Amino acid sequence: MKRWLVGALFILSPVVSAQTSLHAPMAVVVPAPPAIDPPALFVKAPVLTTWKDGSTRIPIYYLETHKKNAPSRDAFAMQMAVRLKVLTAQSGYENCAAICVAHHNPRAWSAVVTTVKSQSMCLVVDVCPEGYKLSNADIHSHIHQSLYKPNAVDRKFLAREYQSKDLILTIPDEFSEEDYMRTGYMVSEHSLWFQAGKNQVRKVWDLPATTSSATH
């Protein structure tokens, strides 16, 4: 499941600061991806910003930034899918990013990957590196198991009737209702999917059975 933050300006450094706005997304200055394994990556991830809804506060953690050349958005999403699959497999969390395209090069793509350390949802931040703009699609991963024990973050977003459950049943290869609210890709353990509404769902790619974490 995914949700999103619209129109944010983020300056990333060892100490993260953030300003939110309801206007169009602006440029972001991002550090180089840390050269550490995914489990440590999640432990050391800095807080990019905080999602607020009434008394609920959810930190959104910055993981890494990817910039790659690809002939199409689908092709870039395939490259990102391999990495997101690894991050989810090794952390157990959903991860997500808005897909961005360079202002003056339609074959140059980027994505700023974040997580809220949840098994059931990810908050997409509409942010692009400097020189890129939103492509009007995002990408997020789903966990690989169909039954999970909700953590504290999961329980903040579960429907009331599920909040007291010890185990939650999910269908990793299907989009959630919230996913359909905005165009985007979904990475499951086995496949990359795309949707632009419930009547426009297609499988983009069958992911390799095994992947390497050294994709960036």
What does the pLDDT look like over 95-150, one tens digit per residue?
999 999 999 999 999 999 999 999 999 999 999 999 999 999 999 999 999 999 99
pLDDT of residue 159: 78
Confidence of residue 14 (pLDDT cuts 50, 70, 90): very low
Q: Kindly report the pTM of this predicted structure.
A: 0.81
What is the pLDDT averaged over residues 33-43?
Answer: 66
Per-domain residue ranges of the chain: 2-142+175-206
Give the span between the Cα atoms of 97 and 113, in whole angstroms.
5
> Taking all residues of the chain, what is their mean pLDDT, rounded to a whole number?
82
